[in-house]
Amino acid sequence: MSTTARRLKTARFDIYRNMVLRTARKNDNVKVTDKNDYPFDTNYELFTAGLVLGFLRDDPRTESEGSYSQDFIQVNRVGGSSENEYREGIEFIYKLIELEHSDEDPDDSELWELALQYADAGVEAINQDISLKDEFDLLAFIDEADQKWEDRLEDVLVDQ
Domain membership of residue 150 as a residue range: 7-157
Of 109, 72, 79, 92, nearest to 149 (Cα)?
92
DSSP 159: T
Secondary structure (DSSP) of 22-43: HHHHH-TT---S-GGG-SBSSH
Question: Which pLDDT belongs to residue 24?
Answer: 67
For 1-58, the pLDDT digits (tens) are: 444 478 888 998 888 888 887 666 776 666 767 666 777 878 888 899 999 999 999 9
Is 18 within a domain? yes
Give the number of other CB atoms < 10 A from CB of residue 24: 18
Contact 50, 72 (CB under 8 A): no
How far apart CA 87 and CA 48 sit, in angstroms, is 8
Question: Which pLDDT belongs to residue 118?
Answer: 96
Is 31 within a domain? yes
Is 1 within a domain? no
DSSP 106: -
Is 13 within a domain? yes
Is 26 within a domain? yes
Contact 39, 130 (CB under 8 A): yes
Q: What is the arithmetic mean of pLDDT over 121-141?
A: 87
Give the number of other CB atoms < 10 A from CB of residue 17: 17
Of 114, 113, 117, 108, nearest to 4 (Cα)?
108
Amino acid letter, 33: T
What's the structural domain count of the chain?
A: 1
Is 2 within a domain? no
Instruction: Flag whether pLDDT at 125 surpasses 70.
Output: yes
Q: Cα-Cα-Cα-Cα dihedral of 55, 60, 66, 72, to 10°? A: -30
Higher pLDDT, 143 or 106: 143
Question: Which pLDDT belongs to residue 3?
Answer: 43
Q: What is the arithmetic mean of pLDDT over 139-145?
A: 88
Question: Which pLDDT belongs to residue 81?
Answer: 67
For 71-101, the pLDDT digits (tens) are: 777 777 777 766 778 888 888 999 999 988 8
Question: Which pLDDT belongs to residue 1?
Answer: 44
